[in-house]
Structure 1
Amino acid sequence: MDLKRIAGSRAWRLAIGLALVLGVGVPVVAVSASSETLTVAEALAAQGAGSASVTGYVVGQPTATDTVLRAGFTSDTAIAIADLASEPATANMLYVQVSGSYRDTFGLRSNPSLRGRAVTVTGTLTAYFAHGGLKNPTAMSVDGSAPPAGPTRTPTPGTTPGGDDYDRTYYASAVGRTGPALRTALHEVISVQRTVTYDQVWEALKETDQDPANPGNVILLYSGRSQRKDVNGGDPDDWNREHVWAKSHGDFGTATGPGTDLHHLRPEDVSVNSERGNKDFDNGGGPVREAPGNFTDGDSWEPRDAVKGDVARMIMYMAIRYEGGDGWPNLEPNQSVRNGSAPYLGKLSVLLQWNRADPPDAFEKRRNQVIYDRWQGNRNPFVDHPEWATAIWGG
């Protein structure tokens, strides 16, 4: 039998893996790197079988046998890949050594936006961190090619920079679900994120809310005014950091976490921000003089039509992202406009209407992408799939 000829076949690779698992002796034959690539599951079963190419999604940075960082990456020396971008179990991950020549483009500390993308690596199938692994890589590629430069790329919203649909990667565990099952899946997906400090929010908003017609300006959420990026602070005509989910609703303040989450922080005129205060959202009220198109009364705020859906989707994101873990309150939209300091914000039925009436536009989609690529590494699922709001809350 010509073992070299058949070494590249999938049947032979699987046979090697099964034999290794069962402890049956087999000839150790290098898996052909020129053949079709292995899945992560196949690579884990074929540990010790020699050289192979493996394709999987980057899920984090391994630091120990059973520990993988999903955010706050500390090193460029290793990545964990899996057959699902949202894989929760380290047992289903392959730990990949990132040697010196590949660290500038494949290390997660230097390239955090690599998480969730498909990569193909070629190297030796052998234990790494006392875990199924691949070491001494001889080739690494992402989405079929070398990764483009992080700060300058402008991927199409809804797809990865390489053109891979997020439904097959980032949202793989959520697609096809509804109700509580969808909610749980989305929470697990978007909770994997990097955090920013409240000081870093200033610089982040200058990028996330940049005026597409004037790169030196930001667009203010409620007023819609384009204002110079450097005119920010606490003076009446400055812009400052508006918490769309009012930070007093749940009393989380500005500490790192919900208080600094860019998916609900927006630039706004200091005076308008002050007038909105911590009011809930609803239709009606009198016109806001400093921000035409907005309306307010004693307990609610109605934003201008162009951002009604934006506001709704930010509130929905916060409700799914912050479910009471990590010491944070369990945030939830409800039907009240008098929630005080309780971790609720209304009015849910109106927010659902706004979500339908004002679908995501190019500005909102770009903002979601910039937060994902450059700052937090997580997405607002309701920008990518506005219909998921109804699938979770009805209406």
Structure 2
Amino acid sequence: MKFRITAFLLFVFSITYSQILVINELDSDNPSTDTAEFVEIKSQTPNFSTDGFILVFFNGSASGNDSSYLVIDLTGYETDNNGLLVVGSPGVSPFPQLLIAENVIQNGADAVAIYQDVPSAFPEGTVANITNLVDVLIYDTSDPDDLGLIDIFNDDPNFVDIAQINEGSSGSVNSIQRNNDGTYFTALPTPRRLNDGTGISINPVTISVSQNQYNEGDTFDITFTSESNVTADLNFDITLSNFGFNTTDFTGSTSLTILNGQNTTSTTITLVDDADDEGDEVLEIRFSNLVEPVVPFNNNIEVRVVDNDFTIAPWGTPISPTTGIVQSTQPEGYYDSLDGLSDVALRQALQDIIADPNIVRAHTYADVIDILKEADQNPENSNQVWLVYSEEGRAKLDLQTTSSNTGKWNREHTFPRSRGGFNDIEEDDIADGISIFWETKADSLRHANSDAHALRAADAAENSTRGNQHYGEYVGPSGTLGSFRGDVARGVLYLEIRYNGLEIVNGFPSTTGQLGDLAILLDWHRNDPPDDYEMNRNNVIYNWQQNRNPFIDQPDLVEYIWGDNVGEVWNQQLSIDDAEISIISIYPNPTKGRLYIEGKDFINLEVYSVEGRLLKSFERVKNYVDLDMSSGLYLLKVIQEQRIITKTIIVE
């Protein structure tokens, strides 16, 4: 017969034998944003290799079924001079030896266990068991006991009377800490320090900078402060490199010394202002060679470096739209098979083009991030994406990667996943690039999850506000111009044709696969026609997916499928570009510098480099203009009233 001790927080967990490793401390909910959660492991002897051990987390909720949700391989790590190994998120201080993401440790009622095993022994969803078990802690944040987990682990003859330990109510500042006799208590967290206050004293060093963002050309100081004065000169190195940011991007010393008897030193870093359009970057300040008992208090401190060499596109944003500058990259004859068709036959022929399994490609949901960085690039700043609902630019670096969405952007499904009945799979977490893709067809509804024609860069908080509302229920943030409305209408109408199982209907339906409101979306399409921004994103996505949104290339098709011309025969309209160009004649091309203009009215001219940088502008030009530019290839934007034409010119 088993006996359970239930004394208040203390003396709830007795071990009947000496263990190699134990769970020494757990903080699953500190603070409530979960930026400083950790598990601390303790070995019998210091500097103990944890090769061959794993840390497994079990979900004790009703939906979790006491099954594994996270496995951490401890191979390659060892405990410190006090026999401690901290596995934690970046907000833990002193800094963890094994870093995990924020907000991954669940609050309970759950369990965390050490096994002497391989990670593959616990695929996600594996029910808790006692095979090769080394230690376990069942815990909660003022939740009822998980009797299932308790019964499972009490079946191990090496453990006696395992009980569930309460860390405290949600948001508690306490952690669960192990006494030397195997019982547990709660107190303020003590990561990398023995719970009883004994052991070798550590001396954490803090990295600090006055700002988290600087411009190229700026100079700033990095200060390092130890908790206690050092008793001998402390020499250490730091690195700043991070992805594209490297030693060519800054000057300043990265080898430092805190002198004997002191506790601080600093270095001055100057960011190189080069002429390269590298995009905004992030440098990462991190220690490279601290030796115990000196340890990092914090680490991997990120500082954004804003590149001032961004480019500006010759076309406008959705709130300052232009047309006629960006030309469709559709292959010749792409829509020819539609001519002479109507109604159901027209729909089917259109689907045959944009869902052709021999041509069209599907990419992962992670790939969509790279697609949107290009397709939704802000025309006014190549280092930003344009946010669909809030109508503003946002740094590409501000992609949401944690639970915090303030000031971040993420991927918005214009056709909400919960309404479409599609979702991601494990393979969707891998961004494997443009050259690796799935074959896809009209019945591949799951691929709608990552179809970039219907995904947009959006302010993360506004994305949450929209939720899964139908359009019409959701009309965008107050005070904005609604420049997104035609764009999202064409995006979801595309999905209906592209995938079997999706439909745009009138009203606000609750049936999976349906989205509303059709009448409102048709009005949005008519009142906000395609512009250069939308044509550019259509071209970018076509490069990845090998299909296009036809309602951007041929907007009148909407009327023949849903609108005023349903049942009528479709034939492509002739291009009006030639007619527009004939109104204004500009010559010669190539030119030695002077361009002559023939037309009825004054025009404005803007000259751009081929990279999209505005070089010169001329207002109210009538007969001719002298460019006075060096030899080369340029883009000439001709503006007359509401008509905009872009031409390529050569200066000899």
The whole-number CA distance in structure 1 between the counterparts of 2:424 and 2:398 is 21
Q: Is the strand fraction higher in 1 or 2?
A: 2
Shift of residue 380, structure 1, vs aligned partner: 0.2
Quick check: 1:183 aligned with 2:354? no
The whole-number CA distance in structure 2 between the counterparts of 1:314 and 1:232 is 22
The whole-number CA distance in structure 1 between the counterparts of 2:386 and 2:458 is 8
Quick check: 1:355 aligned with 2:493? no
Query: Please, which of 491, 507, 531 is the counterpart of residue 336 of structure 1?
Result: 507
Note the 1:213-362 alignment, pairs <5 A: 213-233=380-400, 234=402, 235-236=404-405, 237-255=407-425, 257-282=447-472, 288=477, 292-293=479-480, 304-323=481-500, 330-337=501-508, 339-340=509-510, 342-362=512-532
Q: Is the 8 A contact 2:389 2:484 kept in 1?
A: yes
Q: Is the 8 A contact 2:371 2:540 kept in 1?
A: no
Partner of 1:387: 556
Distance 1:265 1:183, change over 3 A: same
Shift of residue 341, structure 1, vs aligned partner: 5.3
The whole-number CA distance in structure 2 between the counterparts of 1:254 and 1:381 is 25
Give 3-state SS (helix, strand or coil) of 1:227's partner.
strand
- Structure 1 ranges of 4+ moved more than 4 A: 154-159
Q: Give TM-score, length-normalised by structure 2.
A: 0.32
The whole-number CA distance in structure 2 between the counterparts of 1:364 and 1:159 is 10
Partner of 2:367: 200
The one-letter code sitting in structure 1 at the alignment partner of 2:372 is L
The whole-number CA distance in structure 2 between the counterparts of 1:213 and 1:322 is 34
The one-letter code sitting in structure 1 at the alignment partner of 2:560 is A
Shift of residue 159, structure 1, vs aligned partner: 4.3
The whole-number CA distance in structure 2 between the counterparts of 1:382 and 1:175 is 15
Q: Is the 8 A contact 1:245 1:264 kept in 2?
A: yes
The whole-number CA distance in structure 2 between the counterparts of 1:199 and 1:273 is 18
Shift of residue 340, structure 1, vs aligned partner: 3.2
Distance 1:158 1:184, change over 3 A: farther
Quick check: 1:170 aligned with 2:359? no
Partner of 2:376: 209
Greater RCO, CA 8 A, separation 6+: 1
The whole-number CA distance in structure 1 between the counterparts of 2:473 and 2:450 is 27
Give 3-state SS (helix, strand or coil) of 1:248's partner.
helix
Shift of residue 169, structure 1, vs aligned partner: 1.8
Query: Please, which of 537, 541, 546 is the counterpart of residue 371 of structure 1?
Result: 541
Q: Is the 8 A contact 1:371 1:379 kept in 2?
A: yes
Q: Where does the alignment leave 5 or more consecutive residues of structure 2 unmatched?
A: 1-314, 316-323, 426-445, 565-652
Distance 1:272 1:244, change over 3 A: same
The whole-number CA distance in structure 1 between the counterparts of 2:393 and 2:362 is 27
Partner of 1:148: none
Q: Is the 8 A contact 1:158 1:384 kept in 2?
A: no
Measured against aligned partners, the alpha-carbon deviations of 1:217-267 in whole angstroms (never above 9, x if no partner) come to 000000011000011014222100000011111320235600000000111
The whole-number CA distance in structure 1 between the counterparts of 2:391 and 2:340 is 36
Q: Percent identity?
A: 39
The whole-number CA distance in structure 2 between the counterparts of 1:305 and 1:311 is 11
Give 3-state SS (helix, strand or coil) of 1:390's partner.
helix
Q: Is the 8 A contact 1:248 1:340 kept in 2?
A: no
The whole-number CA distance in structure 2 between the counterparts of 1:315 and 1:194 is 18
Q: Is the helix fraction higher in 1 or 2?
A: 1
Q: Is the 8 A contact 1:240 1:270 kept in 2?
A: yes
Q: Give TM-score, length-normalised by structure 1.
A: 0.52
The one-letter code sitting in structure 2 at the alignment partner of 1:308 is R
Distance 1:306 1:315, change over 3 A: same
The whole-number CA distance in structure 2 between the counterparts of 1:288 and 1:261 is 25
The one-letter code sitting in structure 2 at the alignment partner of 1:178 is S
The whole-number CA distance in structure 2 between the counterparts of 1:181 and 1:158 is 28
Give 3-state SS (helix, strand or coil) of 1:288's partner.
coil
The whole-number CA distance in structure 1 between the counterparts of 2:345 and 2:557 is 12
The whole-number CA distance in structure 1 between the counterparts of 2:505 and 2:367 is 31
Give 3-state SS (helix, strand or coil) of 2:524's partner.
helix
Q: Is the 8 A contact 1:310 1:364 kept in 2?
A: yes
The whole-number CA distance in structure 1 between the counterparts of 2:502 and 2:477 is 28
Distance 1:156 1:182, change over 3 A: farther
Q: Is the 8 A contact 1:217 1:226 kept in 2?
A: yes
The whole-number CA distance in structure 2 between the counterparts of 1:186 and 1:254 is 26
Distance 1:220 1:359, change over 3 A: same
Q: Where does the alignment leave 5 or more consecutive residues of structure 1 unmatched?
A: 1-153, 294-303, 324-329
Count of residues in Structure 1 that have an aligned counterpart in Structure 2: 216
| RMSD (Å) for aligned C-alpha atoms | 2.2
Shift of residue 307, structure 1, vs aligned partner: 1.5
Shift of residue 212, structure 1, vs aligned partner: 1.2
Note the 1:27-46 alignment, pairs <5 A: none
Larger radius of gyration: 2
Shift of residue 390, structure 1, vs aligned partner: 1.0
